[in-house]
């Protein structure tokens, strides 16, 4: 269950439009002040300068979105629509998956994950990265869940992903009640809940036909399991569904850790000496170009469905899902 929770984050902003950069941290006054502090503004400015000098559009916008959570797609409406059509818009902003990548990297750098000092260092450095990226609801949820999970693991306790998800959601709402009506928060919660309950069922079903294990198939299991709860909400909200989006995600998701980890390291170098950061950053053109090429290719395939499910049907569907989850909860909890 712990491993499952660490994988949920990549889908928390599934098919969601990126939050505008001038709205980062707007859910709470104190958070907004932290996110827009002088040091974070300086880091973002240097990051933009470094990446713009190293890459062309839309690769530069992709890199800045993945690494520091900046949404600079306002002047790229065509490519933004490609991302929405292919269900890959969640990749171009920092999500819980990026937070998990950064945390694991820091843990490896500081030493053993079983020392409380190292856990605290990694947790607070990841918190700083979360603030730099805008501290949007999915990022807040992922950081809280990750912080709790790592200490549960440290003390050798049994982790219950559902309880941790509910605790994180309640804590976020207490800190900032307006997040309850935030679309990003709603999608993050539904996607995580769906993954917790249905990922093993989907994996069991698919492995009956495919006797093969790989990270790509793991991403496919996760992506399909998210759809069980999320797809009616997406259809009602956006009126657009692409049945191929889980498979498209599997093909391009491997570029995210490469771009996030290496890009983050190169940006740190760029803060110290920008010419070297620019030179190193040019090596990320290949994975970013693969992402761009694949999304544009699949966007040309006519698989998109303009389907807006009526609200009544959505409510009936979720009533049945709720009854099913209540029945399963006796065994799950």
* Domain ranges (residues) in the chain: 2-332
Give residue 273's pLDDT band: very low, low, confident or very high (50, 70, 90): very high
pLDDT reported for residue 35 = 65
pLDDT reported for residue 4 = 42
What's the rounded Cα separation, in Å, for the pair 304 and 314?
20
pLDDT reported for residue 179 = 84
The least confident of 22-26, 128-132, 225-229, 297-301 is 22-26
> What number of other Cβ atoms are within 10 A of residue 216's Cβ?
14
Q: Which residues pair with 241 in a beta bridge?
A: 305
Q: Is the pLDDT of residue 130 over 60?
A: yes
What's the rounded Cα separation, in Å, for the pair 131 and 140?
9
- Tens digit of pLDDT for each residue in 153-208? 888 888 788 888 889 899 988 888 888 888 878 888 888 888 888 888 888 888 88
Whether this prediction's pTM lies above 0.85 is answered by: no
Provide mean pLDDT across the span 300-313.
Answer: 85
Provide mean pLDDT across the span 217-232.
Answer: 84
Q: Which residues pair with 305 in a beta bridge?
A: 241
Residue corresponding to tokens 């909400």: 233
Provide mean pLDDT across the span 268-288.
Answer: 92
Give residues with Cβ within 8 angstroms of 25, minimum separation 6: 31, 32, 34, 35, 36, 131, 134, 135, 136
Reduced 3-state DSSP string for 267-285: HHHHHHCHHHHHHHHHHHH
What's the rounded Cα separation, in Å, for the pair 285 and 287?
6
Residue 280, Cα to own-chain centre: how many angstroms?
A: 25
Q: Is the pLDDT of residue 134 over 80?
A: no
Q: Which two tokens stand for residue 267?
A: 């940006």
Q: Is the pLDDT of residue 28 over 60?
A: no
């Amino acid at each position: 269950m712990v491993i499952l929770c660490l994988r949920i984050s990549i889908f928390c902003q599934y098919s969601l439009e990126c939050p505008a950069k001038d709205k980062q941290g707007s859910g709470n006054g104190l958070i907004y002040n932290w996110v827009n502090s002088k040091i974070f503004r300086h880091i973002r400015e240097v990051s933009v300068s470094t990446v713009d000098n190293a890459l062309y559009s839309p690769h530069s916008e992709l890199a800045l979105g993945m690494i520091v959570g900046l949404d600079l797609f306002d002047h790229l409406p065509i490519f933004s629509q490609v991302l929405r059509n292919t269900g890959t818009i969640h990749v171009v902003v920092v999500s819980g998956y990026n937070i998990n990548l950064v945390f694991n990297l820091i843990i490896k750098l500081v030493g053993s994950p079983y020392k409380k000092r190292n856990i605290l260092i990694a947790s607070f450095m990841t918190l700083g990265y979360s603030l730099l990226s805008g501290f949007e609801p999915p990022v807040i949820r992922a950081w809280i869940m990750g912080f709790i999970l790592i200490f549960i693991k440290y003390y050798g306790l049994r982790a219950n992903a559902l309880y941790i998800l509910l605790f994180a959601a309640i804590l976020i709402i207490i800190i900032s009640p307006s997040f309850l009506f935030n679309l990003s928060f709603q999608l993050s919660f539904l996607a995580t809940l769906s993954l917790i309950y249905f990922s093993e069922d989907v994996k069991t079903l698919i492995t009956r036909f495919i006797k093969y294990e790989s990270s790509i198939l793991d991403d496919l299991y996760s992506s399909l399991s998210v759809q069980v709860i999320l797809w009616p909400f997406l259809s009602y909200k956006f009126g657009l569904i692409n049945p191929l989006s889980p498979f498209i995600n599997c093909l391009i998701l491997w570029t995210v850790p490469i771009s996030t980890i290496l890009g983050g390291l190169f940006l740190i170098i760029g803060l110290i000496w920008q010419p070297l950061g620019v030179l190193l950053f040019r090596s990320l053109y290949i994975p970013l170009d693969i992402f761009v090429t694949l999304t544009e290719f699949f966007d040309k395939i006519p698989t998109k469905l303009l389907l807006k499910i009526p609200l009544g049907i959505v409510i009936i569907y979720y009533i049945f899902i709720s009854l099913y989850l209540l029945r399963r909860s006796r065994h799950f909890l």
